[in-house]
Structure 1
Amino acid sequence: MMKRGICLCIILLSFKNLTAQSAKIDTEKLLEYYETQRYADAATYLQSIYPGDTQDIKALSQIAYCNMMAGKLPDAEKSYLKINTIQPNNLPTLFSLASINSRRGNVSNAKTFLQQIIQLDSLNFSAYKQLAAYAETSESRLNYLKKANTLNATDPDVAYDLSITYSGLKQYQPAYDVLKTAIAADTENFTLQQALLPVANQLTKYPEVIETGEKLLKNHADVNVMNDVGQAYFYVKDYQKCIMLYKMLEDMGVQNEGTLYFMALSYRELKDYNNAALYAQKTIDEAISDHTNLYYAALAGIYEAQNQYNEAVTAYKRGLTFGTSNIIYYRLGLLYDLNLKQPKNAVTYYQLYLKNNPDQNKEKEQIAYAKGRIPVLK
């Protein structure tokens, strides 16, 4: 409340320094508008006092600010552009224009204004931080974040984003160093500590992952933290704790191929071979997509288009190892029937297609064709 009051006082004091028109301003009314956040009313009131062609920068700034706060972005931009023409290269104005264009989704214009800012002020942390969000490549994003981090190494948002970018490029040591610096400045920042865990795992700092992760888990049982800590326990050969954490994830229904794999290995190390085999099979099942057979069908279709029929047969049959598929049965029937001239095999796959309950409405033509071809081929 104190900060808000100070801001309102500054705004109102600025009106006292305006031109002769300031005598017409009802500061009490403006104060009420600001306190109740009726910014649209404040903008309308100010516009009723100043002429539309005013060149008064302070007046234009207040009108622009009120319109921006009211969400009337086109009106705000119009005023800020006018200010920029009267008084070019003003950093607050450029930042406001960048913000307005960002909110309207005009990334190109937002970037242009931010780049103007760093041309005027090559050490402007905020501009680099915002430009990183608009970077089109990992390299340019990295460069902007590195510059921002150099200017303010303790900013948590930049440290987090920079560490994620470093990790994406598999540069784990710089990612770790950036996070450690920011965490040292804010030891209770759980977001940064959580971001540190997968990086520390990559650097084999397993005791640190366990110590930090266990503290985080006391605050909140986050599944990502459990995943990272479970890995660390595996690598320090505390297989029971690894299994305990990953069993919790499984009970929550958020297991994945990796957690199941570590469970299989942990059970194996504990010589619990029954559970090791069980989780090895679960790992395989988790790794296989429900659509894998369709992917093989697509590959086989490509081979068919190139008249590589034997390769197509191999791909189709590989797809069937991941589950039954009407599409593959039917396509194999056609392939053996029309291209490879193997009627016995064609009949086999047409029959498998029909036995697999194809959709009577959607596959009416295919069903009719398969039924018609079987007696002919026999």
Structure 2
Amino acid sequence: MKNILFIFLFSIIYLGGYTQESPSIDKEKLFDLYQTQRYAEAGDYLKGAYGDETSDLKALTQIGYCFLMAGNNVEAEKFYAKAYALQPQSLPILFSLANISTKRGNSAKAKLFYGEIAKIDSNNFNVFKLLANLYTQDSVKLVYLLKANQINPKEGDVASDLAEVYSTYQDYETAYRVLDVAIQADSENLVLQRAKLPIANQLKKYSEVIASGERLLKDETDAAVVKDVAKAYYFTKQYQKAINLFKVLESLAMQNEATLYYTALSYRGLNNLTQSAIYTKKTIDEAVSPNISSYYVLLGLVYQENKQAKLAAGAFKKGLQFAPNPTLYYRLAILYDTKLNQQKTALTYYKLFMKSKPKAKDEKEEIAYTEARIAQLQSK
């Protein structure tokens, strides 16, 4: 390994093709800086030797490489840009500039450089893979992933990303075929096997999901795999097995509205209506945002400020359907008391406010006002 490193560094330092006009370079010093990975020092040394205004292509790329390896992207870009001006169709220079632009968060420049590479080498797998990663729009991403996949359909990362895009378009058949080709080339790729499960479920290949998923679960308890296998058990009417796996998700606090819903359906399939009702309620609770009653408080206040008292009352009452909220009771009491002139109804909501145990620290003034107002209304 040391011999290989020595030959590599020797080729850079001694066979770099420097012109006869090149300044004197202490090759042993440079070799030592490379060998000990002191790239920043190597870059500064070469920069000092050649100067900022050098037009030596190989010197520019070597200095740029040193700074790139040192993490100094600003200096690296400066020297690679000069090299690019001298040789605009050099793939290594274009790749370096694109890489630097990506690291610096300038996706637009990276796209331009990678685009130039694609024009020069239309069969360069890496450039299309990298271009795909720079786009968030599925339609554009699809174009580059397709090209990369056509060049190398066995590469797992591209196959997985391409299948994901096809899935967003609900083209599950194509997504399945893309993954199948990659899996045949790498049957031990667990990432690809996991990616295939939800797609196979969509295609109703439940036996495959169960067989593949159970093998994956022997490797580790992956929540996504558990969910896919559990759904496959449900659709094949193996309700108890489905419930057992859905319960695993609950033990991991990884349940969601969908998994609770399927649990309720599975209990119903077993005619265990008590548990089915319990999980149906859990599904409803999971589906409702814990903040929704607060949203109705805001909506009611907006209506009230706009002098739409009846709409405000409706919003406050709607909020109570989701969760008891002391603020909603108080707002309804005030609304009926001061805007709608219905003191009897207001008294009811004042009492409900007090029964809802408002926090004394946060609602001290509201509590004091409510106690006084209840006494006044009851004395009438």
* Conserved 8 A contact 2:14-2:27: no
One-letter code of the match for 1:113? F
TM-score (norm 2): 0.90
Cα deviation digits, residues 250-302 of structure 1 (max 9, x gap) = 22332222222222222221223333233223323332332222233334344
- Match of 1:176? 176
Matched, 1:43 2:26: no
- Match of 1:83? 83
- Match of 2:352? 352
- Match of 1:135? 135
* Conserved 8 A contact 2:22-2:50: no
Equivalent-residue separation in structure 1 for 2:238 and 2:363 (angstroms): 55
- Match of 1:336? 336
One-letter code of the match for 1:168? T
One-letter code of the match for 1:11? I
- Match of 2:209? 209
Question: How many residue pairs were aligned?
Answer: 377
Tell which deviates more after alignment, 261-270 or 190-199. 261-270
Cα deviation digits, residues 149-199 of structure 1 (max 9, x gap) = 223222222222222222223222222222112212211111111011111
Cα deviation digits, residues 298-340 of structure 1 (max 9, x gap) = 3434444554443432332222122211221122112212332
One-letter code of the match for 1:158? V
Query: What SS is found at the alignment partner of 1:194?
Result: helix
- Match of 2:255? 255
Equivalent-residue separation in structure 2 for 1:187 and 1:10 (angstroms): 40
Equivalent-residue separation in structure 2 for 1:13 and 1:186 (angstroms): 42
Where structure 2 has 5 or more consecutive residues not aligned to the other structure, the ranges are none
Q: CA deviation at 1:342?
A: 1.1
Where structure 1 has 5 or more consecutive residues not aligned to the other structure, the ranges are none
Matched, 1:234 2:234: yes
TM-score (norm 1): 0.90
Equivalent-residue separation in structure 1 for 2:220 and 2:136 (angstroms): 35
One-letter code of the match for 1:289? S
Cα deviation digits, residues 62-115 of structure 1 (max 9, x gap) = 110011000111111110111111222322212111111211122222223223
Equivalent-residue separation in structure 2 for 1:4 and 1:245 (angstroms): 52
Question: For residues 303 and 176 of structure 1, do their structure 2 counterparts lie closer, same or farther at Cα, with a shift above 3 Å needed?
Answer: farther
Matched, 1:199 2:211: no
Matches within 5 A, 1:64-213: 64-213=64-213
Equivalent-residue separation in structure 2 for 1:4 and 1:337 (angstroms): 86
- Match of 1:222? 222
Q: CA deviation at 1:368?
A: 4.3
One-letter code of the match for 1:370? T
Question: For residues 339 and 144 of structure 1, do their structure 2 counterparts lie closer, same or farther at Cα, with a shift above 3 Å needed?
Answer: farther
Q: CA deviation at 1:352?
A: 2.1
Query: What SS is found at the alignment partner of 1:108?
Result: helix
Question: For residues 171 and 312 of structure 1, do their structure 2 counterparts lie closer, same or farther at Cα, with a shift above 3 Å needed?
Answer: farther
- Match of 2:319? 319
Equivalent-residue separation in structure 2 for 1:291 and 1:98 (angstroms): 45
Cα deviation digits, residues 205-245 of structure 1 (max 9, x gap) = 11111111111111111111111111011111111211121
Equivalent-residue separation in structure 2 for 1:258 and 1:5 (angstroms): 59
Question: For residues 143 and 376 of structure 1, do their structure 2 counterparts lie closer, same or farther at Cα, with a shift above 3 Å needed?
Answer: farther
Equivalent-residue separation in structure 2 for 1:184 and 1:88 (angstroms): 40
Query: What SS is found at the alignment partner of 1:295?
Result: helix
* Conserved 8 A contact 1:67-1:73: yes
* Conserved 8 A contact 2:39-2:70: yes
Matches within 5 A, 1:51-70: 51-70=51-70
- Match of 2:362? 362
One-letter code of the match for 1:176? Y
- Match of 2:12? 11
One-letter code of the match for 1:160? S
Equivalent-residue separation in structure 2 for 1:5 and 1:213 (angstroms): 48
Question: For residues 147 and 299 of structure 1, do their structure 2 counterparts lie closer, same or farther at Cα, with a shift above 3 Å needed?
Answer: farther
* Conserved 8 A contact 1:21-1:49: no
Equivalent-residue separation in structure 2 for 1:299 and 1:327 (angstroms): 13
* Conserved 8 A contact 1:149-1:159: yes
Equivalent-residue separation in structure 2 for 1:158 and 1:13 (angstroms): 39
RMSD: 2.5
Equivalent-residue separation in structure 1 for 2:369 and 2:307 (angstroms): 22
One-letter code of the match for 2:40? A
One-letter code of the match for 1:325? N
Equivalent-residue separation in structure 2 for 1:6 and 1:351 (angstroms): 87
Equivalent-residue separation in structure 1 for 2:162 and 2:312 (angstroms): 46
